[in-house]
């Protein structure tokens, strides 16, 4: 029988892992049972910071526990695959931060593995959710709702754009190391590539991608901090995803136009993780511009809480995941295609065969 309180463990406690821990501790009907830090020397300090959770250095000690229902993998990108394998093999439900893994092939391996494992007597399989929490936003999610309701007619064009300050270095500088981060398109534009395909998914499939990118920092040419990518869809529509890490604060814009109307949304904060952002959504039906009221706050800290509560309801059998393994796999495929296109300056054809399996 599924417990009424869903017990979480966290693998990885960097800045975003701490956001997970703090969210779980404040939310109802979920509890934080254990944290794996990855470093023996940090156990004592983290235990002091989170006294109600057991803190261990080795993630294998965490996933082996009987008092953990869900494991949130919030470790650096290059560790996602091995951590996820161990979580699934231990029979735990998995919530893994984006990017799902560094490669399309590893994503598919995890999807197949999760389909073969049961999570105790209450579930026939391990639930797998990828942390694309933007899908839960009252702002970015409202855009999806308007598109699916037909407000725009058939969507023809989208722009998803971010202007922000440079990335944090990450523990031991992993985010600035290509071997450990994979590439910077996997780090944040992966969210926007996911949004663009999510917005169009009921109308067309992505068929090709072209990207151009450069670096203004001394991080190496593979770690692009200025990116523009165009996704072409099977019906002739397209979406542009753009990001610069050479700006200031955190300002995201989405614009979508269709055969009947258009919309424009924006979100701004002094930092990406703020509880007090400014945001708006405007629509145009061909005659009138309307500001759509939004009474629910939005931002990644708010969506993180929603994502944790949704995962708990998924385990209880009361909800479906908002972002499946296949969704996360597609966003990794698109990110790596953008990296390859930026490197070669060539159009990359996307796998229609894989899209057909979705």
Maximum Cα–Cα distance for the chain, whole Å?
63
Dist. CA 217–CA 314, nearest whole Å: 42
Number of other CB atoms surrounding residue 310 within 10 Å: 22
Q: What angle do CA 182, 184, 188 make, to 5 degrees?
A: 120
The residue length of the chain stands at: 358
Cross-strand partners of 32: 8
**Mean pLDDT of the region 318-333:** 96
| CATH code that applies to domain 135-296+332-356 | 3.30.360.10
Give yes or no for residue 357 having a pLDDT over 70.
Answer: no
- Chain region(s) in the chain for CATH 3.30.360.10: 135-296+332-356
pLDDT tens track for 251-299: 999 999 999 999 999 999 999 999 999 999 999 999 999 999 988 999 9
Strand partners for 228: 212, 242
Of 141, 22, 34, the C-alpha closest to 87 is: 34
Mean pLDDT, rounded, for 97-121: 89
Please, is 92 exposed, middle or buried when counting C-beta atoms within 10 Å of its C-beta (0-12, 13-18, 19+)?
buried
- Predicted TM-score of the model (pTM): 0.94
How far apart (Å, rounded) are the C-alpha atoms in residues 115 and 109?
Answer: 10
Residue 356's pLDDT is 45
**DSSP per position, 282-326:** EEE-SS-EEEPP--S--SHHHHHHHHHHHHHHHHHTS---SS-HH
Pairing of strands 70-73, 93-97: parallel
Contact 138, 298 (CB under 8 A): yes
**Which pLDDT does position 38 carry in this prediction?**
87
Give tens-digit pLDDT for 1-57.
456 899 999 999 999 999 999 999 999 999 999 999 988 989 999 999 999 999 999
Q: Can you list the pairs that 13-18 forms with residues at least 24 positions away whose Cβ atoms lie under 8 Å?
A: 13/37, 13/42, 13/46, 13/74, 14/74, 14/76, 14/170, 14/171, 15/168, 16/74, 16/97, 17/74, 17/75
Region 52-66 average pLDDT: 96
The pLDDT, as a whole number, for residue 39 is 87
Domain 6-133+304-324 of CATH type 3.10.450.50: no
Contact between residue 93 and residue 127 where contact means Cβ atoms under 8 Å apart: yes
Each residue's pLDDT tens digit, 124-174: 678 999 999 999 999 999 999 999 999 999 999 999 999 999 999 998 999
pLDDT tens digit sequence for 218-258: 656 579 999 999 999 999 999 999 999 999 999 999 999 99
CATH 3.40.50.720 domain span(s) along the chain: 6-133+304-324
Nearest to 161, CA basis, from 95, 66, 79, 256: 256
What pLDDT is recorded for position 252?
98
Among 57, 46, 58, 41, which Cα is nearest to 21's? 46
DSSP 182: -
Whether 123 has a pLDDT exceeding 80, the answer reads no
Residues 292 and 193: their CA atoms lie apart, in Å, by 24
Q: pLDDT tens digit string along 186-221?
A: 999 999 999 999 999 999 999 999 999 999 876 565
Round the CA-based radius of gyration of the chain to a whole number and report it: 20
Identify the pLDDT of residue 116. Answer: 86
CA distance 322 to 254: 20
């Amino acid at each position: 029988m599924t417990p009424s309180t869903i017990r979480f463990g966290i693998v990885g406690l960097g800045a975003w892992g701490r956001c997970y821990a703090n969210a779980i501790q404040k939310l109802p009907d979920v509890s934080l049972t254990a944290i794996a830090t990855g470093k023996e020397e940090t156990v004592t300090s983290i235990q002091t910071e989170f006294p109600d959770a057991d803190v261990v250095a080795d993630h294998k000690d965490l996933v082996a526990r009987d008092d953990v229902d869900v494991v949130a993998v919030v470790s650096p990108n290059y560790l996602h695959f091995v951590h996820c394998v161990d979580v699934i093999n231990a029979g735990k439900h998995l919530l893994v931060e984006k990017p799902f893994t560094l490669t399309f092939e590893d994503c598919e391996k995890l999807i197949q593995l999760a389909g073969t494992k049961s999570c105790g007597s209450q579930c026939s399989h391990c639930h797998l959710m990828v942390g694309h929490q933007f899908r839960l936003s009252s702002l970015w999610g409202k855009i999806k709702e308007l598109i699916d309701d037909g407000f725009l007619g058939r969507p023809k064009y989208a722009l998803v754009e971010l202007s922000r300050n440079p990335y944090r270095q990450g523990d031991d500088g992993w985010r600035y190391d290509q071997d450990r981060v994979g590439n910077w398109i996997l780090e944040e534009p992966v969210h926007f590539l996911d949004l663009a395909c999510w917005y169009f998914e009921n109308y067309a499939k992505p068929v090709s991608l072209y990207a151009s990118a450069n670096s203004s920092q001394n991080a190496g040419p593979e770690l692009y901090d200025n990116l523009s990518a165009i996704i072409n869809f099977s019906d002739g529509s397209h979406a542009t995803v753009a990001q610069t890490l050479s700006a200031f604060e955190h300002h995201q814009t989405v614009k979508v136009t269709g055969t009947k109307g258009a919309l424009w949304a924006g979100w701004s904060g002094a930092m990406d993780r703020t509880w007090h952002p400014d945001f708006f959504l405007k629509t145009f039906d061909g005659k009138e511009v309307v500001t759509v009221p939004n009474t629910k706050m939005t931002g990644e800290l708010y969506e993180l809480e929603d994502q944790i509560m949704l995962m708990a309801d998924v385990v209880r059998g009361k909800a479906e995941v908002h972002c499946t393994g296949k969704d996360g796999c597609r966003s990794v495929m698109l990110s790596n295609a953008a990296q390859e296109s930026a490197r070669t300056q060539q159009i990359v054809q996307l796998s229609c065969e894989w899209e057909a399996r979705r």
